[in-house]
Structure 1
Amino acid sequence: MKSKLIIYVMLLGVLANGYAQKAAVERADKKYERYAYVDAIKTYERIAAKGYKSVEMFQKLGNAYYFNAELDKAAKWYGELFAMTQDVEPEYYYRYSQSLKSIGEYAKADEMLVLFNQKSGNDLRGKLFSQNRNYLAEIKANSGRYNIEDAGVNSKYSDYGSSFSGNQLVFTSARDTGSLFKIKDKWTNQYFTNMYSSEISADTVLGPVKKFARKINTKFHEATPVFTKDGQTVYFTRNNFNNGKKGKDANRVVMLKIYKATLVNKEWDNEVELPFNSNNYSVAHPALSPDEKTLYFASDMPGTLGQSDIFKVKINEDGSYGVPENLGFPINTEGKETFPYVSNENELYFASDGHPGLGGLDIFASQIAKDGSYRKVKNIGEPANSPKDDFGYLIDVKTRKGFLSSNRVGGQGYDDIYKFLETRKLNCEQALSGIVTDLETSEILPDSKVTLFDDKFTLIKEVKADDKGHYEFEVECEMTYYVRGEKEAYETKEQKITISNVTGKTDLPIQLEKKVKPVTVGDDLAKAFGIKMIYFDFDKWDIRTDAAYELEKILDVMKEYPNMKIDVRSHTDSRGSFEYNDKLSGNRANSTMEWLIKNGVKKDRLTGKGYGERELFNKCADNVECSEEDHQLNRRSQFIITAL
């Protein structure tokens, strides 16, 4: 019977475009005032053409062209990437697929999409399943936040769907108050519902129950009111019944509609039905946004995903209404979503049997972000939810006291109203922010484009850094995101970040590297490419393949600038004797120069020396305990420009 009643109540219930950086070249006598500009992407391409392979290099090349919409070139480099490894982020499968389509390779593109779906999730329903495999554990984590007890106004009939109106609680009840004609609903075998009120004391004790708004209560259903803050307007649910007549659909079923009434001389009057009602579907359970500019409601109107969905409609300044909009995913499912309520903290609460819950209808919550999007849907946990139907959530955010409806075991009637005290908030609130700067100079980069993606690389939001280089997003706790920073003349950078499960702020600075890098006499050319060291085998100084890849970058630049001269400086960590480290580093510097000479650099353009442990980068001297990572920082190679 209860499930039928609830069903009836529903029927009641990238990289920037190419940039030729211009620098004023001083024509003074001192050569160190001359600058050269190194285009890293072109260097990578020239190195790749020689047969050198690197996962990072292929990713950078593929991304550079993908972000710039040159998908045919992106396909080439992503192809090299996948030929080398398939152990990459799922997003690369998607990018490669899109790139392959641009060159007509649809069969291979489809193969990449299949792999992408396997690695990143399924469709809408599959996504819900995959994201909520541990839903009982999540519900348990959200439980224990409410002290709940009988509200004190319940009858042996159905009592539910409450709303605040000043210091009154106005609610729905099927109780009979002694009217001469006692009409019962054939569906539920209960009396038709009307609206009732009870005064709320300071300690949330409810006073005597009185019938509310006798003029707009009819002999059929009235239910689930919501009031404007000034107390002058009420929206409520009613059967398709007005001016003494019932409206029916083609199957002779009486649908539900939302009506509006205003307070005139302390009486509710002038009730009118809203223009998006219909005789062919139900519209019910109104709720207002905090600014009262949006009306939320439940309906099975065309466009509904499941049995019923949550919709919203704009309330215009002249009192007219916009076009109803389905909230879509993640709020609505193929099941039933109903009884919306929006708190003064912009939290959307609703009842659903489509999201994973404890049984029947459960109450769920989603924070409405500033941009109007809906954050992760969360089950509010026990004891607010139970194995039965739980719905009709209402809260005063100042006192954290409120009311909900349920047909749980132990109640007095078919549905009962329970009052509660929320002892701990559900939502963890987090902001992700940072400053965008130049990697080399730490200069603030205002107006940089910063884009936020979810863990499947679905676009969430895009912002511009302010004049102080600052950006900020509202994000969900315990979620993983990708943040992409972009600015003209800089390489696009993506960073992965997982948000804490504690309310607060997460700092993520973005340091962008110039695509075209200025270098001059005295600069370390290795820094332009992030070369920290040239690797050698233990106690050896012959050039390995991975070291040759790094040296190719230096070689390419020296060929581009035939007047450039380099001083090769090799360093070791402090382990080993002074004499040994001097000899080892000297051999490695000489080996590096020999490789460059062998590959076309004239001998008179190179000098070099091994410095052993004489110029340590950090504190890790003899007898100082350091990690391997700290020691590694000292084992570095430098390529200092001595002439241009």
Structure 2
Amino acid sequence: MVLNMKSIFNYFILVYLCGMLVGSAAAQTGLLRYADRKLAEENYLEAGQGFADAYSRKPTFEAAKGAALAYDALRDYPQAYNWWEKAVNFDQAGENDWLNYIAAANRAGEKDAVFAALDTINASGSAAIKNLRLDSLRQWYGSSANAGLKKLDRINSPSTEFGWVKDRQGRVYFTSDRGGESDRDRKALRIDKGYKYYNKSSDWTGRDYLGIYRKDEDGTIAPFEVPISDVFHAADPYPLQQEDVIFYTVTRDIRRTKNYKVHPEVYFSRLDASGNAVDFKGLPVNAPLEYSVKSPFVDESNKRLYFSSDREGGHGGFDLYYMDYDENFEFQDPVNLGPLVNSSGNETDPFVLDGKFYFASDGHPGLGGLDIFVSDIRDGAFAGAKNLGLPYNSPQDDFGYYETEDKRVLVSSNRPESTGWDDIFEMETLFSRFSALLLECDGEPVTGPLDTSLVRSTDDSNVALSNSGNGMLLGELAPDEDYEMLIRKQGFFAVRDMDISTKGLDADTLEKTYQLVRIPYNTAAYVDLVYYDLDESLIRQDAEVPLNKVAELLKTYSFLNVVVRSHTDARASDAYNEALSQKRADAVRDYLAKFGVDRSRISSEWLGEAELANDCGDGKPCSEEFHQLNRRTELLLLAFPEVGKAYDMPEELKNEDLCDISNIQMPEELPTIYFGFDQSELDLEDMMALEKVALMLRNMLNRHLAISGHTDSRGSDEYNEELSEKRALVVKNYLEGKGIASERLVYEFFGKSRPVNDCEEKPCTPEMHQLNRRTEMILPSIPNPKKNGIKRENQ
């Protein structure tokens, strides 16, 4: 059978205590006999002092172990550790004494001593040690926690305080022994021991009775008087949230003539408008002279009362039970929660919230003493017991878990930070885990080096971030703070997020997903053309409109530069034409400068007759119309023109999906080509318009073009369908002749079926018929195969 560490520790302590009652054969001195007697009386304070005095006169194993056991019972952990350390150095010390030494070292916070002892005993092959799951201590101590405990300074005192709960009016109840020394002559009862009568002057601690206290919303703390007479101890208050009723535990003054024990019972009372108890009724399972009933908790939504009891038929010391009840608080028979919750040790302090069952136990594997555990409630059954670990638990006693509606978590503990014997602590978030997943446009994690900063707003301090290398950044954030994030990576837009905050954060982890977008260097965002007269570089009137548009775009979008590529026709020498094209480029630059466009944003190329728009070179005769097409300047507006520069995301594009570069490209006003009656030929104006379309398609390779041909309503359907196809094809063929791949051009023809003006119903003018004889061009929307539903954070 595999036993757990804490059960064995508790078991051996009890065994040794009983053994000391018989008396050690080695206890020959008067001091040892005196200490033995005090130990039998459970007066552990004087017993510990007696064993210590005996040890000072003659160091013996019996004296050291007796002192260790006494200080264990007193929960004086440093003293207990000191005496167990002495005891295990004697040859008489066995495995059981080493177990007690490890437990004492653990409770005293001497983790190095715990691990050293474990290593030593494990190396010796001890069977007892191997069965204790002691390695769980390494796991718990080695785990980082994102929360800590802070004392409730306005409630805690040098006395004992535990069991913080809250009623529906906002009043807080807790248990304390802060009564003072005024009633030292009365008989007192130990509520957590055997419940024999003791005189407080010779009790194991000499402490006062336990009582229930209430803190009102104005901060006033006063005793809460239970309406039961002759009560020594009152503890474990639990007020209902839906009715003005409070449950609690009491130990009554029950007098008998023979030696006996008195056990605690659970009662409940109704509260008046001032919050005072006006009546009382005990549970039907109360049996104060037979067993204990304590730690009430009421699950009102299921009308179920939970409690702790050491009645017969349990699994160990104190077990947890429940009883269902009706609207009149008539209770059914008690039901044991079973072996998944109850152990061979003690279970107490039940609490239920959101399908979770919390309780304290010293019988399940833990860090020492009582620990807090949680079990899932599934279909009315309990699914095991999980230790909450650090910081909820410590090597000392941790119990009294309570969670408010606004997620405040309270626990009680006698850990070393306690002001008194037990204190009430509130869970505080030390940090929230921060995780940021970085994805590229295709949804794959961003790999490689990153330049990141996460800055706390209040003091501009940097939060350390770890980069897993697979697109995940991890860090820790302080509670109730605002942060700013900056992520940079070579070749990607910087990501800024000024909306990171732990204020009001309920979850343990703040998760973010960022999309890093590659900078589309030198992406054509807009194109246009201007034309010149023969042997001229002056800006013509018809060129002012496109140049004005380019100047406006440059002033509006800081991430754009313009490339000015000037050309001539093939007449005159190469040298002359190169010089003339330079003049034309300079004329464009000077024109844009008048609008305040910095010259650094304008780059010029003068190509002379090197890149003709048509086959009019080498003395080949051409019409003036074809020469006109060569006398031109191409205007290319390029986004993010400095390759390698770390661009921030432009303000103008923050709401755009830049995984689709078409969102960078400015809307183009595509021309409509109009034809004469029964014609399908292009004139000079049409060709100049199509030159711009071709320039756009050559520089925006992601774009496709849809072409549709139409006719007016005159003529037969069959004839007009054929004519509309010719009109669509003449445009398509022209663009293919300019180097545009056929698969990027889709054409359709509709005859007279889609007129601009319906001339069948009413007479049309020649101008109205002209508008129907057309070829239209549109840029279809581009489906983005990389779009994957990533939520883009602020960038």
The higher radius of gyration belongs to 2
Q: Which has the higher helix share?
A: 2
Q: TM-score range by the shorter chain?
A: 0.3 to 0.5
Q: Which has the higher strand share?
A: 1
Q: TM-score, normalised by structure 1?
A: 0.42
Q: Which has the higher contact order (CA 8 A, sep 6+)?
A: 1
